[in-house]
Structure 1
Amino acid sequence: MIKLAPFFVKHRIYFAFGLLIIAGLSVPGMFHLNITVDIQDYFLADDPAIASQEAYNRIFPGGDFVGVLVQGQDVFSTESLELLRLLGIRLEEALPESGEAASLATISGSLTGGVKVVFDGGRLESSPEEVEVWRKAVSASPMLNGLFFSSDYKEAWVILPLSGAAAEADIFETGEKAWDALEGIDAGDMVITPAGIPIFAYRKQVELMADLIRVLLFGAVAAVLLSSVILRSFRGVIGTLSVFVFSVITVLGGQGWAGVSVDNAFMAVPILLIMGVSIGYAVHVHRFFHIGLVAGETRIQAAVSALEHTLRPIFYTAVTTVAALLSFLFVNIKPIRWVGYTSALGILTAFLFSVLFFPAILVIGKQTGRNEGFKRKKLTEAIFKRVRSILEIHEKAVLLVFLLVTAISVVGILKLRVDFDAIKMMGTRLPHMQDQLRISDSKIGVGEYMNLVIVLPDGDFKSADSIMLMAELENRLLEIDGITRVRSVTGVLAELNSLLHGRRPEYSNLPGNPVSLEALVRLLDGVLPGERQNWLDNSYTQARFLVEISDFSSRKIERIIAQSEEAAADVFPAGSSAQFSGSTYLVALMNQYITHGLIRSVATALIIISLIMVLVFRSLRWGLIAMIPNVFPVLIAGAVLGFAGIPLEFVTMTVAPIILGLAVDDTIHFMSFLKEDMSGHHDYELSLQRSFNAVGTAITETTLILCITFLVFLVSRINSIRYMGVIAAVGMAAAYFADLLITPILVRFLTRRRS
């Protein structure tokens, strides 16, 4: 591979132009990237959960809505009712294909014994006395009280169910139309909170993109400052930034042309990873290029010399990092896979630009006699001399501390828990998360919910027995900790029963007479056909329950699902089945995918990187010894997560393989030089000194670069991105100290054994 260095430098113009052409063709592709935040896009196309969700949607179509939660002192006041009417009109105008919005201002007189309020356009015509009579009639409806408005009259909903073209349209387009229609409305003393999956999806997309831009801007500033301070060369800085920018454009632009879907919550991870690696590779190449210039070589000779020293180790570090990142393909979550293969492609692209394009930038210009800063060189030599002294005098103490910290880390890892909690993961810094919390904390709002479908292949939900079993299951579900409310067709039937009997209190529940109950079921299709279709399929063999949950924790939701399935099996006869669907259910499935995926990902990365290390050093002993200081930072990162109580989820689960893939880079550079130098004179202490002087500064600088790169994540407003940045920075720092303190001791032990 070293023999390729003169060839690469000799034909640098061709390689540079070829790479620039590829990057240029990729630029338009950047504008074709498909951005998505839909939870269903997290799953693979052949995932059984998606098939189950699609089957549910065919049986119970619709369900999506856009709406507004209105909160004030009295939602039955004239100002509130007129506001409710205005909000409904705005939504209807924005999405005319969906029909009429439902709210207190539009309640049919059939539900209130003929009593209703009258509007002239958006102005309330009914007198206060008439409104008060109507309030009492509405409050007597169990289907409206507590659902459309709160029992204390301080909260009310405006709901526009999506139908027709709006139900089939792009979810973000629908959300944008509804959001724009509601902006600028003067709510007076009341608080209005737009809601519905389309609105939250649109807002999440916009806010995450703004957060991504914020992180990348800080990352760009960090890249310029780092390369300027460390390289202290105009050509070096321009070349390094070019490697980073062109690598990102090539990879993301290529994906845009390929029609790849990207979740913008994850986009910063591969981009900043490519930035850190690009600067790291440039530091190694530039350092040996600088050494060549100091030795009196021409710029072209120095470029050849730099590649001869760095091509092989950079290649192997790229391969090991790519191997660790591709282990994400074992996780059945599409964004995690995207992070894996996108980062891997980015690392390979950065490698190509670093060895083929970067030298072409360095050789430009006149020959100058450059001298390395005397003070800087003396300082670094003094620091590494002190490190060697510590290793000689306190070898046993260093090993003891290493083993103690490792043992403590194992304890911390045992405290790790897999848990996707939207609030803990996203945090509350983003406005749409603040609104989501406001809705879930309200009296009539819904935080998380699942659809539970009971299938009776040999039964019939027209029968009184089946309806009573549904009521029994509702009561059993409400006994489960974490379930706040359960709705089904039984509530609609109870409402119909109350309405038919003039709202008399004794008829507010299901009739006890089986004949009367079955008559209500038959009547339902004629009186409220839409309600029947919401809860029972056309064959009356499948019934839907809406299960509302108070918690956002996927671990707790998993428990609720298990207990609900057990309750359904107890209540309904053998042969029936219980099937869950909905985004909350899909999130709960993520726990299993993350757990199994993380184990397979880390195990695969360990095995592949171990094999690569053995091949790199052409020795089983050297290869296995090289893995010890690289497993250590993974343990440290896991311990920090465990002791801090930070759960493993989509983003934090990526930390371990990333650290493993990056930590091995410095080990390869350090041990490669040490092993090669020892092969010449077999003097370990002299080789250790020469290794520290030759590559010690470079690995210090690359570690500093990666740590600062990851700490840039702290400017994000998303909790999990911030956690990832801190944990990855801690892991890289641990890897650095392990390389400096543990690797030399292990190599010394190996050389003693061989002697």
Structure 2
Amino acid sequence: MYSRLLQFVMTKPKVVYSILLIAVITAVAMIPNLNIDTDPENMLSENAPARVFHNETKNTFAMRDMIVVGAVSNSSIFTPAHLQTLHTLSAEIEKLDGVIVDDLLSLSAVDNIRQEEGGGIRFEYLMKEAPTSQAASNEIQGFVKRLPMLDNTLVSGDDLAIAIYVPIESKDLSYQIAEQVRAITASINSDLDFHITGLPVAEDQFGVEMFIQMGVAAPMAGAAIFFLLWYFFRNIPLIIAPMVVAMATVLIIMGSLIGMGFTVHIMSSMIAIFLMPIAVVDSVHVLSEFADNYKKDDDPKTVVTQVMKHLYTPMLFTSITSAIGFYSLLLTPIPPVKVFGAFIGTGILLAFFITITYLPAYISRLSPANLAKLQEAVTRMEQKGLLSNALEKLGKFARSKVVAIILVFLTLLAVSIQGITKIEINDNPVNWFKSNHEIRVADSVLNEHFAGTYDAWLVLQAPPADNKQTFAAFNQALIALNEHGVDTTAIQNQFEADNKQFSQSLLVAIDDLAFEVEDEQADQVTALYDLVEAEMSKNKLFLNPAMLNWMGQLQNELVATGLIGKANGLSDIVKTVNRELNSGEQKDFVIPNSSDAVAQTLLQYQSSHRPQDLWHFVTTDYQQSLLWLQMTSGDNQHTTKVVAWVEGYIANNPAPMAIEYDWAGKSYLNIVWQDAMVSGMMESLLSSFVIVFIMMVLLFRSLKYGLLAMMPLTFTITMIYGLIGWFGKAYDMPIAVLSALTLGLSVDFAIHFLQRARELERETGSLTQALILMFEEPSKAISRNAIVIAIGFTPLLLSPLVPYITVGFFLASIMALSALVTLVLLPALLVVTQGKKRADISNTL
């Protein structure tokens, strides 16, 4: 079948060029529709339970994505000049589009809570106007220390820093708003150091810089590959062919991804840099093989036909196995990783197809002069140089030190397995930037001063109540009203709208009905109202003093562990208001003794300038409550420890009333998708490993050679991840997907080595002679390909973004290690597996 295709492309090259050009132009036309997405929330599918609950929590408690703006002083922040600066900054931030002004947290926007002279409680803006004297500044400082919701959240515990929490309408506005805030702070004449951080702005800023990196890294990789190919072949017309294959592959795949409506995530942003070096590998094989076989006055088409028939099968299998390595990522539960794996795998197959169609058409039309230059280039490469001498020595070593090599590799395998057990799963979007990046610096400075700019939300709620008897009484009351001609449609509709739950809105509907009915039905409506209200009161879990005291104790114990800087909750509001309603002294900073008294404190709080703040911590039916935990670290390991501690505490110190709990917040979502990624990667790696093994057995029609082909893959993956464990590098998303690339490319080298070694053994009748010949041109081809791929990834090392640097470094290491394992371990294993021939082989070495 391929023979017919080959003849067609060589006789109709313009058709091939035209089809390829149209495909590229069509794909490029899609690129302007590019949509960047760096939100880690999208690492989970939309219907993932953790993500669904997170979004429900945001809606239920009106929690916002926030940018944290911090101002740091070398001395006390409580001076008239500093407070004037913060007052001005807060006012300017409120003017920005996309900022939710009502929820903005700053000294200018929050309330001071204190006793009214003559009794009662007073709510007034803490800093409606900036103070003009030091005494007034000190007074504000004293007020802050009495307000647990503000202390160490808006003002640092050391009084050296003040923060403004900027809630935004949409997290994808965070970079834009952060840039506007930076412009404002730059225009302010102050000796304060301003910093901006928070997960939303870190993620959005990464997206902006990732977009820039996409436009820089891929061209740099292309340039590196171009100069490397020029070094190999010293002929521009020859270099054009593999570069066209690489560029066409990248443009078609990226254009297709964008055109199909996929967003470009951190993973898919690396598609171009992954495909660029991989796409040229087969081209190098074809050009080298063609040059070896072409002689002056030969018909180029005849030689191309011979070369392509010879290389078609190994190139097909190497392409399929590489693609399988990436397609295996489809088994992970992480949508962006699935997209990355699908398009890289397809890109590898596309590069193979372009290679076997475009390249023969191109080479067959080369001029005699360029063909002669090709021969000269290959002849020059075949001359003994540093690489040739090194490979010759390596070949002798691999053939003569069989036992030592196998023992060394087995030892390395054992050490690597031990290293793998030390790997820790961890990630933090802020750490995607280099340590000197403004985001990292801001994160470090502000978390040093404050209770923490990272948050997690612990949601406590009453379990589903057994309301069967109440529901029956409720329905019976409605039936009775209907029988007396009363229209209860509005009540029934509200009941359905509230998912058949008793709610405040249902009480309002019943109360409205009371004004519409005749006097003889009024008592029935009142009884219905009392029934619903009584049931609701019974379920108002978070008005119960015992429950609030338990929550307060949980907060105190959690802070005492040092795992979090602070926990903010409903009990803080109740205690603060209760203190000011009574003596104003610390002895009354307690939870009142009755639910009615608790309700009174909350009613008083709702007369403040920010009554909506209450509903960030409790629902209107008082059946759910949220604890806002502030942490100084956003690392997954840290959040995992917090979650585990809370789970253990609740198990050992049960709440006084039955409760259920769950987690939300960006920090918690990160550990959920990281855990899903690890289990998914393991499943995909094992399944693709089995598939590749089966393919190797079918390719070589030999169980032995199938097993041998898997050795470089097995050792490379184990060693790379062993090193990661030993060096303490966190297992994050970029590290996880390296297994797919390792699987594909490591087995590629093994296929070429074993296929060629078997052919040479059949031709020479001697394994020894075959191995000697293998370390001439075949080993150089493998080495050159490893160098091409490794060099292609080196531009990533210049990136300002840590994930790109990580990928660049480890991929270059993987290529070097894969080639080394192939060229050292496989010869040794071939010698060992020869059985009775081994002695004869050894004697001839």
**TM-score normalised to the size of structure 1?**
0.91
For residues 381-438 of structure 1, what are the alpha-carbon distances to aligned partners after superposition, in whole Å with 9 as ceiling and x for unaligned? 6555444433443333333333333333233223222223456554424322222222
CA contact (8 A) 1:117 1:126 kept: no
Residues 418 and 740 from structure 1, CA distance in 2 versus in 1: closer, same or farther, beyond 3 angstroms? same
Query: Which residue identity does 2:33 align to in structure 1?
Result: H
CA contact (8 A) 1:239 1:358 kept: yes
User: Residue 736 of structure 2 aligns to a residue in which SS?
Assistant: helix
CA contact (8 A) 2:157 2:449 kept: no
The alignment-based identity, stated in percent, is 19
Alignment partner, residue 534 of structure 2: none
Query: Which residue identity does 2:177 align to in structure 1?
Result: K
Query: Which residue identity does 1:269 align to in structure 2?
Result: M
Match of 1:154 among 160, 163, 169: 160
Deviates more, 1:70-79 or 1:503-512: 503-512
User: Residue 149 of structure 2 aligns to a residue in which SS?
Assistant: coil
Query: Which residue identity does 1:357 align to in structure 2?
Result: Y
Match of 1:483 among 550, 555, 564: 564
CA contact (8 A) 1:117 1:125 kept: no
Residues 714 and 178 from structure 1, CA distance in 2 versus in 1: closer, same or farther, beyond 3 angstroms? closer
Deviation at 1:46, TM superposition (A): 2.4
Distance, in Å, in 2 between the alignment partners of 1:429 and 1:366 is: 53
2:437 paired with 1:434: no
2:788 paired with 1:705: yes
2:619 paired with 1:614: no
Write the mapping of 1:103-182 to structure 2, written as runs, cut at 5 A: 103-108=106-111, 124=130, 126-162=132-168, 167=169, 169=170, 171-182=171-182
Alignment partner, residue 402 of structure 1: 409
Deviates more, 1:251-260 or 1:500-509: 500-509
Alignment partner, residue 464 of structure 1: 545
Deviation at 1:352, TM superposition (A): 1.7
Alignment partner, residue 304 of structure 2: 303
For residues 172-231 of structure 1, what are the alpha-carbon distances to aligned partners after superposition, in whole Å with 9 as ceiling and x for unaligned? 235403522441322421011234554333322223333444433432331221121123
For residues 249-293 of structure 1, what are the alpha-carbon distances to aligned partners after superposition, in whole Å with 9 as ceiling and x for unaligned? 101111111110222x33453222211112211110111122233
Residues 154 and 435 from structure 1, CA distance in 2 versus in 1: closer, same or farther, beyond 3 angstroms? same
User: Residue 542 of structure 2 aligns to a residue in which SS?
Assistant: coil
Runs of 5+ in structure 1 lacking a partner? Answer: none
Residues 358 and 438 from structure 1, CA distance in 2 versus in 1: closer, same or farther, beyond 3 angstroms? farther
Deviates more, 1:48-57 or 1:407-416: 407-416
Distance, in Å, in 2 between the alignment partners of 1:424 and 1:182 is: 21
Query: Which residue identity does 1:76 align to in structure 2?
Result: F
Alignment partner, residue 536 of structure 1: 618
2:402 paired with 1:321: no
CA contact (8 A) 1:456 1:541 kept: yes
Deviation at 1:485, TM superposition (A): 1.3
User: Residue 747 of structure 1 aligns to a residue in which SS?
Assistant: helix
CA contact (8 A) 1:231 1:286 kept: no
Aligned-CA RMSD value: 2.9
For residues 580-622 of structure 1, what are the alpha-carbon distances to aligned partners after superposition, in whole Å with 9 as ceiling and x for unaligned? 0011111122342233123212211211111111121122221
Alignment partner, residue 567 of structure 1: 649
Alignment partner, residue 460 of structure 2: 454
Distance, in Å, in 2 between the alignment partners of 1:661 and 1:78 is: 64
**TM-score normalised to the size of structure 2?**
0.82
For residues 463-498 of structure 1, what are the alpha-carbon distances to aligned partners after superposition, in whole Å with 9 as ceiling and x for unaligned? 222222222322333344512211101111122123
Residues 61 and 366 from structure 1, CA distance in 2 versus in 1: closer, same or farther, beyond 3 angstroms? same
User: Residue 458 of structure 2 aligns to a residue in which SS?
Assistant: strand
Deviation at 1:722, TM superposition (A): 2.5
Write the mapping of 1:218-367 to structure 2, written as runs, cut at 5 A: 218-263=220-265, 265-267=266-268, 269-294=270-295, 296-367=297-368
Deviation at 1:681, TM superposition (A): 5.4
Alignment partner, residue 503 of structure 1: 584
Alignment partner, residue 586 of structure 1: 669
Query: Which residue identity does 1:451 align to in structure 2?
Result: W
Alignment partner, residue 504 of structure 2: none
2:36 paired with 1:35: yes
Alignment partner, residue 714 of structure 1: 797
Residues 310 and 223 from structure 1, CA distance in 2 versus in 1: closer, same or farther, beyond 3 angstroms? same
Deviates more, 1:498-507 or 1:625-634: 498-507
Distance, in Å, in 1 between the alignment partners of 2:823 and 2:126 is: 79
CA contact (8 A) 1:288 1:309 kept: no
CA contact (8 A) 1:326 1:344 kept: yes
Write the mapping of 1:6-45 to structure 2, written as runs, cut at 5 A: 6-45=7-46
Deviates more, 1:510-519 or 1:322-331: 510-519
Match of 2:711 among 609, 628, 631: 628
Alignment partner, residue 382 of structure 2: 377
Alignment partner, residue 494 of structure 1: 575
Deviation at 1:546, TM superposition (A): 0.9
Write the mapping of 1:55-66 to structure 2, written as runs, cut at 5 A: 55-66=56-67
Distance, in Å, in 2 between the alignment partners of 1:666 and 1:623 is: 13
Query: Which residue identity does 1:410 align to in structure 2?
Result: I
Distance, in Å, in 2 between the alignment partners of 1:738 and 1:133 is: 71
Residues 88 and 392 from structure 1, CA distance in 2 versus in 1: closer, same or farther, beyond 3 angstroms? closer
Match of 1:556 among 622, 638, 659: 638
Deviation at 1:319, TM superposition (A): 0.1
Deviation at 1:644, TM superposition (A): 0.9
Distance, in Å, in 1 between the alignment partners of 2:688 and 2:647 is: 37
Alignment partner, residue 688 of structure 1: 771
Distance, in Å, in 2 between the alignment partners of 1:695 and 1:5 is: 25
Corresponding residue pairs, total: 744
User: Residue 662 of structure 2 aligns to a residue in which SS?
Assistant: strand
Deviation at 1:690, TM superposition (A): 4.2
Distance, in Å, in 1 between the alignment partners of 2:720 and 2:339 is: 22
For residues 16-63 of structure 1, what are the alpha-carbon distances to aligned partners after superposition, in whole Å with 9 as ceiling and x for unaligned? 321221111000212212211112111112211111112212311232
Match of 1:676 among 759, 780, 801: 759
Query: Which residue identity does 1:221 align to in structure 2?
Result: A
Distance, in Å, in 1 between the alignment partners of 2:135 and 2:77 is: 16
Structure with higher Rg: it is 2
Distance, in Å, in 2 between the alignment partners of 1:12 and 1:149 is: 72
Runs of 5+ in structure 2 lacking a partner? Answer: 117-121, 466-538, 839-845
User: Residue 461 of structure 1 aligns to a residue in which SS?
Assistant: helix
Match of 1:204 among 203, 206, 212: 206
User: Residue 31 of structure 1 aligns to a residue in which SS?
Assistant: helix
Residues 616 and 463 from structure 1, CA distance in 2 versus in 1: closer, same or farther, beyond 3 angstroms? same
Deviation at 1:86, TM superposition (A): 2.1
Distance, in Å, in 1 between the alignment partners of 2:579 and 2:401 is: 85
Query: Which residue identity does 1:260 align to in structure 2?
Result: F
Deviates more, 1:560-569 or 1:631-640: 560-569
Deviation at 1:308, TM superposition (A): 2.2
CA contact (8 A) 1:416 1:647 kept: yes
CA contact (8 A) 1:420 1:590 kept: no
CA contact (8 A) 2:461 2:661 kept: yes
2:188 paired with 1:186: yes
Distance, in Å, in 2 between the alignment partners of 1:304 and 1:242 is: 21
CA contact (8 A) 1:536 1:544 kept: yes
Query: Which residue identity does 1:654 align to in structure 2?
Result: V
User: Residue 571 of structure 1 aligns to a residue in which SS?
Assistant: coil
Residues 659 and 187 from structure 1, CA distance in 2 versus in 1: closer, same or farther, beyond 3 angstroms? farther
Query: Which residue identity does 1:455 align to in structure 2?
Result: Q
CA contact (8 A) 1:454 1:578 kept: yes
Deviation at 1:321, TM superposition (A): 0.3
